[in-house]
Amino acid sequence: MRKFIQKGVILISAIAFSFSFFGCNDKTATTEPVTQTGRTAEDQLALTPPMGWNSWNAFGKEVSEQVIKETVDAIVSTGLQAVGFNYVVIDDIWQGGRDSVTGMLYEDAKRFPSGMKALADYVHSKGLKFGIYSDAGTLTCGDMPGSFGYEEKDAKSFASWGVDFLKYDYCYVPELVSWNNDYKMAIDRYKTMGDALKATGRPILYSICEWGPRSPWLWGKEVGGHMWRTSYDVADIWDTPRNETSPIGILTSIDAMANLGRFSGRGGWNDPDMLVVGLKNTGFIKGGGCNEIEYRTQMNMWCMFSAPIMIGCDVRNMNEETKTILLNKDIIAIDQDSLAKQGFRVMSKDGLEAWKKPLSGGRFAIALFNRNSQDKTITASWKDLELNASARYDAYDVWMHETTGVSLDKISAKLKPHESQVYVFTEAKKNN
Ligand code: GLA
């Protein structure tokens, strides 16, 4: 299914080129993200990390009009829409083919009998937004027709159907003669579709799915992207080694995000892939399944990262634990915080980690995380957490939904295997 035609490597020359190609320099990469107010409609599309649902993890090639409509209804009735999940994205294998005379892409008539425009209208009628998938190569990763050479035509079709979001994959892209040109090809192909989307005049959120080998965080925004994958596909599994091909586990994807914070911010986000929360080894992608603690850690870390949160489970059939994870407004508020800063690792010892995410209003989100397969107690001092050593902090537990108290100089938590706890730290007033 996944034929990654070009196994890219991160080349020093590639990085150097992409900086000079776009006139970027180290200074621009480290300054605060530029506020997009007053710029084009595309720039306004992802001022906070996109939230929604994608069909791939649960349905794969079984996606259909009926599934999408029922999913839309469930997103509304379960309250997912109310907490911010608003994009409904049809992933690969919706296509029926490409007309050999007109060159127009069309949907599979059996699974989408009313057509994409009617389906988009249904999604919009419920106050949600409609997303679709294509690929920069000649075929998609699921062997359907890709957009290579048809970018303008396809972008126009998507706009005419009412598409609000395009996920654009990177299988079957023709190879260039040398490895050194691999990344140039990616920039070129993604820019071609980015320009085609802009030319339609319809604001369409552009999700780059190149998986990371060609460092899309360096050029994603310049080609019109609003989010870019930083890893291969996350399966329903806690850990598999190395981020070299699909699938990987949750932990591997977390590690792939660790040093990329400076490339994420308002308008363009690092994307560690869709959530596997709630799949429980059902649906399309499988992987063996994770336990509730591991699913909660995925939600915690994605929100610590200001990552797009795209649900991957069947929302028509969520159990109470899955609902609790996906409907937690306190953790979602960390993801959507207006400061738009990706969290970073401040402490790592014996498989115990602390991560910190600056929040608006001078607050911080702190995640304490146990990578080990045994219960462990973690203690992090204000020094470890790079906090003001002479301050006292109120720590609000986002899963207990209560302030756990004020401490003078450290915080401790007993964590089960793979468990994480997240707190919002606010400096306590003097004499508290
Ligand atoms: C690639 C992508 C996945 C999914 C499939 C569809 O593997 O990374 O997220 O879109 O293709 O074929």
Q: Please write the tens of the pLDDT for every residue from 201-227.
A: 999 999 999 999 999 999 999 999 999
> Does residue 141 have its Cβ closer than 6 Å to ligand 1?
yes
Residue carrying the six token digits 């992090």? 380
Q: Return the percent helix, strand and coil in the chain, to nearest 5.
A: 30, 20, 50
Annotated active-site residue in 182, 233, 236, 335: 233
> Does residue 56 have its Cβ closer than 6 Å to ligand 1?
yes
Distance (Å, whole) CA 232 – CA 381: 35
Query: Is residue 70 within 8 Å of residue 57, measured between CB atoms?
Result: no
Sign of CA dihedral 36, 264, 191, 52: negative
Q: Please write the tens of the pLDDT for every residue from 364-376.
A: 999 999 999 999 9
CA of 371 to the centre of ligand 1 (A): 27
Tokens representing residue 143 in the block: 């062997």
Q: What pLDDT score does 12 carry?
A: 31
CB under 8 Å to 177, separation ≥6 — which residues? none
> Does residue 3 have its Cβ closer than 6 Å to ligand 1?
no
Annotated active-site residue in 91, 169, 182, 236: 169
| 3-state SS, one letter per residue, for 110-140 | CCCCCHHHHHHHHHHHCCCEEEEEEECCCEC
> Residue of the nearest CA to atom 7 in ligand 1?
2
Query: Is residue 196 within 8 Å of residue 151, measured between CB atoms?
Result: yes
Query: Is residue 336 within 8 Å of residue 382, measured between CB atoms?
Result: no
pTM, rounded to two decimals:
0.91
Distance (Å, whole) CA 138 – CA 145: 6
Assess whether 233 carries a catalytic annotation. yes
Q: What pLDDT score does 9 carry?
A: 31
User: Once rounded to an integer, what is the mean pLDDT over residues 264-283?
Assistant: 97
Q: Please write the tens of the pLDDT for every residue from 72-90.
A: 999 999 999 999 999 999 9
Q: Please write the tens of the pLDDT for every residue from 131-167.
A: 999 999 999 999 999 999 999 999 999 999 999 999 9
